[in-house]
Amino acid sequence: MLELFQVLNCCFEAGLNICVSVCDMDGVNKRALCLLGASVEHPVIKVGEHNIVTIFDTPHLLKCFRNLFLKYDIKFTTDITSENRQGFGIAKWSHIKLFYELDNSNPHFVYAPCLREEHLNPNSKQKMKVKLAAQILSHSVAAGIYSKIANGDMPSEAIATANLIAKMDMLFDGVNASTPDLRRGKKYSTNMRESTGHLTLFQEIKNLFKNLEFLECRSTPPSKEGWVWTLNGLEIVWKFLTKKHKTIKSLSTRRIQQDPLENLFGCIRSNCGSNSNPTTSQFVAGLKTAVLSNMGNIGLGNCEIDENEAILDNFKKLLNPATDISVSNENTSLRILLNDENVYSSLEENMEEANGEMQACASFATETAASVLKRKMKIISHK
């Protein structure tokens, strides 16, 4: 616990303004947050004079909900008539299985073409995939169930299942927003703004989870409280940012997840080769390579690829002065300013402490590269 505070204080001293801390629903993480003073209704920890909002990773929460839904029927308050009269409904996984069978028996039109057996009966590895959870708790599945009920193919009680799936679809859109524009016409998939209704949706979902019950489950699942905790945290973050920074008009909620961080560390790990325990200098070198290559080594794992096309924007002023290229229309001469001392000193700074053989190879490579650059510059200057 002391080490965590030391790290956070070092970040603040370095000029980083930490607003949010995100982690998964592991019991150790939750106990640590509670010991630091965070709670469901006030998910904030205090570090010196700074307040840090704590939330749980929303893709992880979605997987937890789907895994619970696989095992237990869910009783919750929902609309039971077309006049929006409220009552208790029971959502059942068996309704989704029935819909899947009916949907795939139609040779002309399928409401949810992406659904497969792995969505309905995932194995241990498949339960870890966020995509499978998001696809089955989606608008297309909810719409399909509504249609089958209207046609008399499914029982009317299945409307509770469709309502719950529709709510979870809107919720995940709201906490996974990544674009300033509407995506597929879904209003909550756009970035959070005052006019988008995200805060109203979050309040509805909090009320839903507070009254929701997993039937025959002997204890209260941590993820049920985790959703309320996280939505409270997102509300606090939004109010804090818009109050302190008047220029902030929207918030991409996908940025407040573990995926961007996991993508970064995966890229650093890739840049460090097969070294699973890099030194500090090796980690810094891997981080520099990751940033300067626009996170070029991100793979296709279980993480959503975060849009990082503009990651170099803040480095343009730093990088542009290093190279001065001018082209004259009259004689098409090319002038390149390159400081040899800067090249050598930069390489020496980043050269790892290693054995003599590695240092010799690095030195040879440096001299060879410098020699090639000099020859290229001479050729260009004579043209």
pLDDT at 285: 86
Is the distance from CB of 142 to CB of 159 less than 8 angstroms? no
Please give the pLDDT value at position 323.
47
Owner of token pair 């520099």: 288
Rounded distance, CA 332 to CA 155, Å? 77
Model confidence pTM above 0.85 = no
User: What is the C-alpha separation between 22 and 20, in angstroms, rounded?
Assistant: 7
State the pLDDT at residue 357.
46
Q: d(Cα 276, Cα 284) in Å, to the nearest integer? A: 14
Q: Which pLDDT score, from 0 to 100, does residue 297 have? A: 54
List, as one string, the DSSP characters of 117-161: HHHHS--TTGGG-HHHHHHHSSHHHHHHHHHHHHTTSS-GGGHHH
- DSSP-derived pairing of the beta strands 20-23 and 50-56: parallel
DSSP H or E segment with residue 23: strand 20-23
Q: What does the block give as tokens for 231?
A: 């939505």
Distance CA 150, CA 138 (A): 19
In one-letter notation, the amino acid at residue 32 is A
Q: Tell me the pLDDT of the chain (383 aa) as tens digits.
A: 667 788 888 888 888 888 999 999 888 889 989 998 999 999 999 988 899 999 999 999 999 999 999 999 999 998 766 666 778 899 999 999 999 999 999 888 999 999 999 999 999 999 999 999 999 999 999 999 999 999 999 999 999 999 999 999 999 999 999 888 776 678 899 999 998 999 999 999 999 999 999 999 999 999 999 999 999 999 999 999 999 888 899 999 998 998 888 878 888 887 777 677 888 888 888 888 877 776 665 555 555 555 555 555 555 555 555 444 444 444 444 344 444 445 445 444 454 444 444 544 555 555 566 665 566 555 555 55
The sign of the torsion formed by the CA atoms of 253, 258, 264, 267 equals negative
The predicted structure's pLDDT at residue 128 = 92
